[in-house]
């Protein structure tokens, strides 16, 4: 099956051929940094503002963040009707 379209250029869409063989294994890459290591570097370079220690406990305090204000209470729901709405 061959499709083509023409404006000023010719574009052809051909059916996909068979999959080729697996290529050779590439070299092992360098080990990546942990999230903690990236955070320590970001604090040290001033990307992240953090006035406390950059030890592991400081990292976890940073992840948790400051306590926010409590949300408002939701409204009471409507009770279902036994056997009719599938909720009971």
Distance CA 80, CA 76 (A): 13
Query: What residue ranges do the domains of the chain occupy?
Result: 32-66
pLDDT > 70 fraction of the chain, expressed in percent and rounded: 81
Q: Indicate whether 4 pLDDT > 60.
A: no
Report residue 75 CA to chain centroid gap: 33
Q: Indicate whether 8 pLDDT > 80.
A: no
Distance CA 7, CA 31 (A): 49
pLDDT of residue 30: 93
pLDDT of residue 5: 55
From 50, 25, 26, 22, select the one nearest 36 (Cα to Cα): 50
Distance CA 32, CA 41 (A): 14
pLDDT in tens, 37-72: 999 999 999 999 999 999 999 999 999 988 888 888
Q: What is the pTM of this model?
A: 0.48
């Amino acid at each position: 099956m061959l499709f083509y379209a023409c404006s000023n250029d010719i574009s052809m869409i051909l059916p996909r051929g068979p999959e080729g063989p697996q290529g050779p294994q590439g070299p092992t890459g360098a080990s990546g940094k942990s999230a903690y290591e990236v955070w320590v570097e970001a604090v040290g370079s001033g990307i992240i503002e953090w006035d406390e220690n950059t030890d592991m406990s400081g990292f976890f305090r940073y992840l948790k963040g400051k306590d926010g204000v409590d949300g408002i209470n939701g409204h009471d729901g409507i009770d279902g009707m036994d056997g009719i709405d599938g909720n009971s």
